[in-house]
Structure 1
Amino acid sequence: MRGAQERLGGACGGCSCHSADRWRPAVSWRGAGGLRPWLVQRLSAVYLAGFLLFVLASLASASSISFDAWRGWIGRPLVNAAVALFALALLAHAWVGTRDVIMDYVKPVALRFSLLVLSGLVFLLSLFWSLRVLFSVSAA
């Protein structure tokens, strides 16, 4: 008497039904999951929270809050670099979260791939735009 696996062609030794590739997602790449995205999400969240506390403390200690005062503050090299790092951390944090949601809940491969490419392009364009604005403020 044969078992169900043998009757259906499984456990035969020559098929691909037991290979490791069988369970690999259709749209995936090396490093898409695991410790690295988790670490990026956590470290970026810590930086975002710390930077927001810094901005709130700076606003609380400012003698006047005007456009010229803001422009002078943001034009300082260290603040400018911190804001650029904030933009990068925010987009990395958003990318990891968006990518995880798409990978978990969008099942059709073509749609998943399209959404990943589209969201990646939106995040890249947002980063370039924010850096352009930041450098135009610091140059003026």
Structure 2
Amino acid sequence: MSRQASGIMAWAVQRVTAVYLALLMTYFMVHFLFNPPADYLELRAWVALPLVSVALVLFVPLLLAHAWVGFRDVLLDYVKLVGVRVVLLALVAFMFLGSGLWAFKAIVIADVTAGISG
């Protein structure tokens, strides 16, 4: 991919992820406004629904992709020293990687272990 096309790809990623995140947040707000869970078990049962669980699993990487494009663009635009920019991009990348792994552990592994023990 050429350097000129990378801006178009970043723009597309930012817009597509923003639409998904906005729709999902709207759905969550409306759902919890009109049908709040009475307790933790009811919330877990709702999250265990296939559509909701798939939406949540997609939420994490799409949120991280959206945030990465935003951080990357800000750093590319405003940090002029290449060495500082590379270090900052690496720190943000490691932070997002750690956040993604933590979210994966919290969503998927916790659900699997709860299913085994419960």
Q: Is the 8 A contact 1:74 1:137 kept in 2?
A: no
Distance 1:72 1:31, change over 3 A: farther
SS at match of 1:34: helix
Cα deviation 1:70-123 (Å, max 9, x = unaligned):
111112232111001111111111000000011111111111100111101111
Percent of paired sites with the same residue: 40
Q: Which residue of 2 aligns with 1:95?
A: 68
Q: Which residue of 1 aligns with 2:49?
A: 76
Structure 2's unaligned 5+ residue stretches are none
Alpha-carbon deviation of 1:58? 2.0
Q: Which residue of 1 aligns with 2:79?
A: 106
Q: Is the 8 A contact 2:37 2:43 kept in 1?
A: no
| TM-score (ref. length: structure 1) | 0.72
Q: Which residue of 1 aligns with 2:98?
A: 125
Matched ranges for 1:49-60 at <5 A: 49-60=22-33
| TM-score (ref. length: structure 2) | 0.84
Larger Rg over CA atoms: 1
Higher deviation after alignment, 76-85 or 43-52 = 76-85
Alpha-carbon deviation of 1:37? 0.3
Q: Which residue of 2 aligns with 1:4?
A: none
- Deviation beyond 6 Å, 4+ runs, structure 1: none
Q: CA RMSD in A?
A: 2.0
2:100 is aligned with 1:138: no
Structure 1's unaligned 5+ residue stretches are 1-28
Higher percent of residues as helix: 2
